[in-house]
Amino acid sequence: MASSSLRIDETVPASKVVHLRNLPEQCSHEDLTELCNPFGKVVNLLCNVGPNKNQGFAEFEDINDAISMVSKYASSSDPVQLHGRNIYVQYSDRPEIVVSRFAKGNILLVTMEDVKAGDVSIDAMSLVFSEYGLVQKISTFEKNAGFQALIQYADIESASSAKEALDGKNIPRSLLPDHISDCNFRITYSGHRDLNIKFQSNRSRDYTNATLPVNEATIARALQPIPRTADNHVLLASFENMLQDVTLDVLHGVFSEIGTVHKIYIFKKNSRTHALIQYYDVATAKAAKNTLEGHCIYDGGYSKIHLTYSRHTDVNVKMRLFTLAASVNAPGLELE
């Protein structure tokens, strides 16, 4: 009788909104987000609705993502589980969720794909998110959706500003280890209202409680030096918030303010613009790195420069020094 009442209604047409039933009592927005994220971007959620508070709705950005989820889980032979309960998935008869928007709160759930715990430090996250308000607590963990963090602000307005500014954006390259090229934020509101941080560590931090015990073992591991590329006369530049392309002439104008530039090479990697800038000596490159890190080429904060030392010791590009007007093809140059 119970299974019959939970039979999928095949007369409901495909929709971007997926209806989830038989949810556990403790189901949260984070649970539904983790459940749906493998299929695509979720733009809205409703949780704990219905007479028994055991139903939810997830709205995908793309209807094909909703179709993928329903196709996988609509069969009773392969139900998805949450906290030990079978969840029943079908299309909703509503075309969109007109309320909720993840119920704005002061805590954000931040998902970072293709990175592992330790690749993005709590200090880096605090630096980025503190631009939008007072960050009180951070807790990080790993889920199927990827490396995640809960960021608690002092107020909802700060959390809302951070979400609006950072959702879908990349963390600045200068805050990432050398082996990570990009790290994209996917941000939703959390259902939590206050994080319970039990001790300070490289996985959790409470900035409001200076007397909280410190997990010295995890802090020590976090403080181990990360191998960095040695000082070099070749710099690797990446650019944040690009409004227009940077050219060789533009880069030469910027970097020659510090010293004589020998070579410049511009290339694309993962759809992002990078450049190699070669000086004649390490001292000039070091001065350029210290001076130009964070410098915006264009007014309004556009084309913000981030610099690291390149592992290349010579940019093997045949050009008329740095004066070529367009980027050249450099066969044999292994990109960073």
- Give the residue, 82 or 3, on which the prediction is more confident: 82
Residue 147, classified by CB atoms within 10 Å of its CB into exposed (0-12), middle (13-18) or buried (19+), is buried
pLDDT in tens, 111-122: 887 788 778 888
pTM of whole model > 0.85?
no
Confidence of residue 210 (pLDDT cuts 50, 70, 90): confident
Q: Is the dihedral of CA 248, 184, 89, 100 positive or negative?
A: negative
Q: How many residues does the chain have?
A: 336
- Could you give all domains of the chain from N- to C-terminal order, each with its CATH number? 2-91 (3.30.70.330), 107-222 (3.30.70.330), 234-309 (3.30.70.330)
> Tell me, what DSSP letter sits at residue 242?
-
pLDDT of residue 17: 93
pLDDT at 334 over 70: no
